């Protein structure tokens, strides 16, 4: 275990949609990469990327000081470490949020004090406080379109490197998740009621168990592109719903969307279903971004090598 941890540089995972899948991935990452000796955990990623859900999966029961529902823990526990025996074992803080109330140098000093006291500290937006600490985290987690997890050495990676990668890729995730929901809204209700979800780079996969859907993919693509052209507002409604132009839609990741449909760039669907003979699913694949058609063509070429998968 120790040798594996010391030789680990960087791992990458798809950042799934929905809290349930993020929790499950967090549990998996904790089992694979987290050591009891890791005292400083750095997290980088923009707002709405799913950092909080991932941390809840990695650290069940951890009290987050920047709860998504707007409940903020005050006073910030890490700034009041004089409770003796009754101080927490693990502290959490969001540097970007807390810097609006407390000087960065004070936050950095509090992190150092907690580490000297043998505590574990989980720091969101770790890249902001890193220059004041003078040392890197034991483990850095970046959340964007993909989840990157690294155990830095004296040669890096630096938090800023992780930040650049995940900030750049998050836009694809927001576009893809919104386009995925638009597809659900435009397909027959009986189809989206039974569908599941999977991931692909710069896109999404909607799965249908057992039977092939009856709707026309080209027609579905046109309906979605019409909604994109209309630049409709997309808003958070509650923990399980979004609103698109005032129309409510069930969604397990309601915070991970663009603000308007017009921000979805170059949306395309693969114009045939792919059959997954192992899981007995029919898969509808969509991609977004400047290379969407090229990415779909590459996926299609890969499937042509397995002709029994194309339906």
Distances (CA, A) of 174 to 218, 224, 255, 258: 23, 16, 9, 5
Spatial CA neighbour of 173 closest among 202, 214, 210, 139: 202
Cα 175 from Cα 252, distance rounded (Å): 16
pLDDT value of position 100: 86
Q: Do 176 and 257 belong to one domain?
A: yes
Residue 180 within a domain: yes
Residue 267 within a domain: yes
pLDDT value of position 112: 95
Q: Do 120 and 235 belong to one domain?
A: no
Report yes or no on whether pTM surpasses 0.85: no
Q: Do 127 and 235 belong to one domain?
A: no
Tens of pLDDT along 45-54?
Answer: 988 788 888 9
DSSP string, 186-203: HS-HHHHTT-EEEEETTE
pLDDT below 70 — which residues of the chain? 1-7, 67-73, 83-85, 304-311
Cα 240 from Cα 44, distance rounded (Å): 25
Q: Do 7 and 139 belong to one domain?
A: yes
Spatial CA neighbour of 176 closest among 248, 68, 283, 263: 263
The CATH code of the domain that includes 99 is: 3.40.50
Say if residues 90 and 81 touch (Cβ distance below 8 Å).
Answer: no
pLDDT value of position 70: 54
pLDDT value of position 1: 44
Helices assigned H by DSSP within the chain? 2-7, 19-33, 51-58, 95-98, 104-116, 126-133, 159-186, 189-192, 217-229, 292-304
Q: Do 86 and 201 belong to one domain?
A: no
Distances (CA, A) of 51 to 47, 161, 311: 8, 17, 38
For the chain, the 3-state helix, strand and coil shares in percent, each to the nearest 5, are: 40, 25, 35
Q: Do 234 and 93 belong to one domain?
A: no
pLDDT value of position 69: 57
- 């470490």: which residue's tokens? 81
Q: Do 191 and 232 belong to one domain?
A: yes
Q: Do 132 and 225 belong to one domain?
A: no
The CATH code of the domain that includes 303 is: 3.30.980.10
Q: Do 73 and 7 belong to one domain?
A: yes
Say if residues 256 and 144 touch (Cβ distance below 8 Å).
Answer: no
Cα 95 from Cα 128, distance rounded (Å): 7
The total number of structural domains that make up the chain? 2
Residue 113 within a domain: yes
Coil vs helix vs strand at 90: strand
Q: Do 42 and 150 belong to one domain?
A: yes
Q: Is 131 exposed, middle or buried (0-12, 13-18, 19+ CB in 10 A)?
A: exposed
Q: Domain of 224?
A: 171-309
Q: Do 185 and 130 belong to one domain?
A: no
Local structure of residue 222 (DSSP, 8 states): H
pLDDT value of position 85: 66
- Beta pairing partners, 13: 147
């Amino acid at each position: 275990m120790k040798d594996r941890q010391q030789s680990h540089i960087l791992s990458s995972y798809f950042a799934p949609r929905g809290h349930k899948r993020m929790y499950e991935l967090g549990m998996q990452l904790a089992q694979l990469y987290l050591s009891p000796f890791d005292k400083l955990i750095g997290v980088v990623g923009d707002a709405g990327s799913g950092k909080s859900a991932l941390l809840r999966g990695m650290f069940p029961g951890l009290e987050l000081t920047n709860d998504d529902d707007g409940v903020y823990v005050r006073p910030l526990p890490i700034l009041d470490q004089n409770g003796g025996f009754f101080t927490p074992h693990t502290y959490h803080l969001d540097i970007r949020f807390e810097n609006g109330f407390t000087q960065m140098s004070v936050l950095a000093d509090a992190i150092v004090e907690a580490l000297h006291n043998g505590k574990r500290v989980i720091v969101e937006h770790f890249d902001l406080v890193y220059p004041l600490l003078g040392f890197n985290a034991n483990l850095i987690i970046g959340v964007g379109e993909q989840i990157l997890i690294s155990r830095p050495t004296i040669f890096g990676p630096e938090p800023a490197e992780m930040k650049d990668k995940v900030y750049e890729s998050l836009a694809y995730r927001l576009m893809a998740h919104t386009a995925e929901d638009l597809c659900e809204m435009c397909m027959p209700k009986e189809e989206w009621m039974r569908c599941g979800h999977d991931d692909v780079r710069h896109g999404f996969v909607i799965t249908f168990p057992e039977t092939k859907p009856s709707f026309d993919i080209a027609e579905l693509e046109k309906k979605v592109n019409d909604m994109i052209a209309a630049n409709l507002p997309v808003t958070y409604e509650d923990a399980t719903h979004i609103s698109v132009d005032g129309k409510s839609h069930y969604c397990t990741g309601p915070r991970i969307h663009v603000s308007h449909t017009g921000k979805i760039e170059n949306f395309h669907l693969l114009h045939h279903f792919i059959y997954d003979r192992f899981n007995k699913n029919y898969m509808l694949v969509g991609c977004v971004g400047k290379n969407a058609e090229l990415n779909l063509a590459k996926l299609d070429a890969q499937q042509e090598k397995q002709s029994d998968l194309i339906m």
